[in-house]
Amino acid sequence: MKKMKYIVAMLLMIAIGCDDDDIRGNLPLTNFSPNAEVKTDGSGDVIFKTTVSGATLVEYDFGDGTTGESLTGYTVHRYTEAGQNTYTVTITATGSDGTTLTETVEVTIDLPVTNSDFVNLLTNGDSKTWFVAVAQPSHLGLGPAREGIDGDWWYPKWYSSQAFEKCSDELSDCFCDDELTFSVDNNGEVSYVLDNKGQTFFNVGHKDVAGGTADEDYCYDYDTSGTKNVTITMVSGNVPEGETTGTQMDFSDGGFMSYYVGSSSYEVLSISEDLLYVRTYDSENPDLAWYLRFTSEAATGGGEESLETVYTNLVWSDEFDVDGAPNPVNWTYDLGAGGWGNGEAQDYTSNPENVKVEDGMLKITAIGSGDASGTKHYYDDITLVGAGGAISEVENFEGTAPVFTNFGGASSSVIDNPDTTGENTSTKVGESLKTNGAEIWGGSFFDTSTPLDLSTYSTISIKTWSPTVGAVIRLKIENQANDQEFFEVDANTTVSEAWETLTFDLSTAPAFTYDRVVLFFDFGVSPVGNAAYTSARIKSENLYEFTYGRVEVRAKLPSAGGTWPALWALGANFDEVGWPASGEIDIMEHVGNNSNIVSSALHYPGNSGGNAVTNSTALPTATSEFHNYTVEWTPDSIKFVVDDELIHTSFVNSIDTPFNNNFFFIMNIAMGGSLGGVIDPAFTEDTMEVDYIRVYQ
């Protein structure tokens, strides 16, 4: 009888299970919430807990070349690479009807490196040569050395975020030629030789060692021959656990690693087979730490290596041989102002004066109207106010001007007070210019040296001058380390062409750290009229998109100060995943304010904006002659070439990057902005000419 009851119970369970599957199959995939918990016990384990309604399977690509799956969303994965490494984990939930949802999370793993592990990575078990990682951002960085000094010590202010700042400047180009060779003998003793090719890049504070006289960092003749002994010890001193591998290298006889700051001890922050990242403390100022990145791959460049292409079959091109508008089969337009977050000044149009095909060339022309028209507001005396009337001044613009960051076609600067009557008779004020055609959300921000004290003060008052009554002034306070932590509040002007004091209530602001002040004047409005600058931006989006190949563009570039021409490609999934997750391949970028240099860059998660993987080369005739700009993009690498000879950036592609999907082309001239810089006040117009663009596969 008991056996019969058991069988009946099992049949009921099976029946109920089938009913559950049928019901779940009708549910959409919703409430997708990936979660990763990194274990701090040094095991390398990460616990993934993904919740999602309606899913029958959750799959993981762990970002280290391995994958896994779970019926419940719960799984544990162990990472094994020593040092500090960040992995992008792709998580895909699948419903019973086959629909999927995908999200990515980043996990950073710190695994201790033993001496034997470290020596093997450093020397390859015998002898290994390292090179300055000139193709990577922050190959030379500067930051405070210890907690409590100049803010967050673990957020270095990069001294060189782009390789061309060091490798194309004769004052410092010797730095990029150094070869650092580590060897290990049968007894496990490590030795070191620095081949500096006769010159060493010296920090200005140590120039006396080389008998130098320059008032800046400089390359001096300096003998680094001879073998040094390397002692490997545990890191000592004021370094928090978790911010280091715990390994330190001490060099005998004054040995040092490439850049001279008077130190012979280097803390190892991370090491892998192809990357070595170290920190050392300046012997003249131990409160400063210098950061250096080295790679086991020799930098290419200097015209010594030509491209051996793997792509020879022409699959797509535009020769620009039919006069008129660009071929609509190949090209469409981005239109509007604001520069997409880069603070640019142009309004993109499809007008023939800005873009046309003529005499066998595509001609993109930036034009200045001579009228920097738009809407101007003035502001002053940004002050915290407490309930009892206590005040704390944030900014009055009378001293050193704050560093403004502009966006959306608006810009701020400090000027002489244009109206010293009424409420504000001070000498200096802030000016906000919102150019005609700017984005409705255009504005500017500056960072404060200390966070706003909202425990003592509950409001901010700002003196403002507006040309109209009823203009919306939006104040946003933000955490500069986490832009998702912010608070916004609006006020409306009540007078025109006169100063008044507006008050912004901060009493309901969440308890975040607020050390950034963002201001939007005429929020929600885009000024109308003729833009100060017009230009064009054409693209092949939804018309021609491709994965992998050799792209060759022959072009002559504009030379005027403030021009920022670019030939580039953007991930075609941009609308779905956003930037930089889509990836960006900058085949060529140039700025008129530095007209003898051309650069290339790759933007992707973790390496975007000013932290992109970038490099450049000198090209004195970039604005007077046509040159070939080429990218060779394969599943394994991305290489940039100028005139078929000079490879000036090489990148190892892998499944972990976004450079394995379709991309589309963009060609444009921007004006000003974060890279274009100051626009020549006498600017009238300038043109980029493109002879052809070709894709080989």
Rounded to whole angstroms, the Cα distance separating 328 from 526 reads 29
Encoded tokens for 271: 């090491």
- Domains of the chain and CATH, by start: 26-111 (2.60.40.10), 115-295 (no CATH), 314-371+530-696 (2.60.120.200), 374-521 (2.60.120)
Count CB atoms within 10 A of the CB of residue 478. Answer: 21
Residue 563 has a pLDDT of 94
Rounded to whole angstroms, the Cα distance separating 295 from 274 reads 5
Q: Are 534 and 555 in contact (CB under 8 A)?
A: no
Encoded tokens for 111: 């695994």
Rounded to whole angstroms, the Cα distance separating 79 from 41 reads 13
The 8-class DSSP code of residue 622 comes to T
Residue 197 has a pLDDT of 86
Q: What angle do CA 407, 445, 471 make, to 5 degrees?
A: 80
**Beta strand spans in 442-548 (E):** 443-447, 459-465, 472-479, 482-492, 499-505, 516-521, 533-535, 537-539, 545-546
Residue 138 has a pLDDT of 57
Name the pTM for this structure: 0.48
What is the Cα 419 distance to its own chain's centre?
40
Residue 340 dihedral angles phi and psi, to the nearest 5°: 55, 45
- Kindly name the residue from 478, 584, 632, 689 that is annotated as catalytic: 584
Q: Are 666 and 688 in contact (CB under 8 A)?
A: no
584 catalytic per annotation: yes
Rounded to whole angstroms, the Cα distance separating 557 from 554 reads 10
Helix and strand counts by DSSP (H, E) for the chain: 5, 52
**Beta strand spans in 235-311 (E):** 247-251, 259-260, 265-271, 275-281, 288-295
Listed residue (330, 369, 347, 384) closest to 546, CA to CA? 330
Residue 22 has a pLDDT of 39
589 catalytic per annotation: yes
Q: What angle do CA 248, 254, 259 make, to 5 degrees?
A: 75
Q: Are 550 and 628 in contact (CB under 8 A)?
A: no
What is the Cα 336 distance to its own chain's centre?
24
Please give, one letter per residue, the 3-state secondary structure of 385-440.
Answer: ECCCCCEEEEECCCCCCCCCEEECCEEEEEEECCCCCCCCCCCEEEEEEEECCCCC
219's CB contacts (< 8 A; 6+ apart) are 170, 171, 172, 173, 174, 175, 199, 200, 201, 202
- Give average pLDDT by consecutive 10-residue segment, the chain, 697 residues: 40 38 56 86 81 88 88 83 80 86 88 74 91 70 54 34 48 83 89 92 92 89 92 66 69 94 89 84 79 75 61 94 96 80 79 96 89 82 92 94 86 93 94 80 91 95 95 95 91 95 95 95 80 89 96 96 95 92 95 89 86 83 94 93 76 90 97 80 92 96
Count CB atoms within 10 A of the CB of residue 66. Answer: 12
Residue 151 has a pLDDT of 36
- Kindly name the residue from 478, 589, 632, 689 that is annotated as catalytic: 589
Residue 517 has a pLDDT of 97
